[in-house]
Amino acid sequence: MNIQEFEYNADKAAALLKVLASRPRLTVLCYLADHERSVGEIAALTGMRMASVSQHLAALRAEGVVAGRRAGTTIHYRLRDPLARDLMAALERAYCQGARGGPAAIAERPAETAQG
């Protein structure tokens, strides 16, 4: 790892991880991983209120993670950032069914303990 380059970009990395560190935002991104979707579609799929979906999309858009395309009065969002796409793929491999034995295997993993 090139430490100098990482230190130069650490603020960008922290901003991306901060915006992704939200269960609702990760859920929204899961639904955008393969398809463009509108706020209404995402709300229907997630059970979230449209206002909440819009707020999460605004935060993701501000960091360049998603982009929107207007079609009439509807904006269709898509996952834009290749790095965010890679991170979502890594999360899918680690935590979605079929990966490493699925959710049951994840639940059986020993909890990590903090030791000084």
Q: In CATH, what number is assigned to the domain containing residue 20?
A: 1.10.10.10
pLDDT at 1: 82
Chain segment 1-37, per-residue pLDDT in tens: 889 998 999 999 999 999 999 999 999 999 999 899 9
- Geometric angle at alpha carbon 56, from 50 and 60, rounded to 5°: 140
Strands across the sheet containing 37-38: 37-38, 74-79, 66-71
In this predicted structure, what is the pLDDT of residue 105? 47
Dihedral sign for Cα atoms in the order 5, 65, 32, 35: negative
**Predicted confidence (pLDDT) at residue 108 exceeds the cutoff of 70:** no
d(CA 52, CA 71): 21
Mean pLDDT, range 27-48, rounded to an integer: 96
Residue 89, in any domain of the structure:
yes
Tokens of 35: 């398809």
pTM to 2 decimal places: 0.78
The reply to whether 106 falls in a domain is no
Half-sphere exposure of 30 (CA within 13 A, CB side): 15
Q: Answer whether residue 48 is part of any domain.
A: yes
Residue 28 lies in domain = 8-93
**Residue 112 counted as domain residue:** no
Give me the residue label for tokens 């990395």: 13
Q: How many domains does the chain have?
A: 1
- Calculate mean pLDDT across residues 78-99: 89
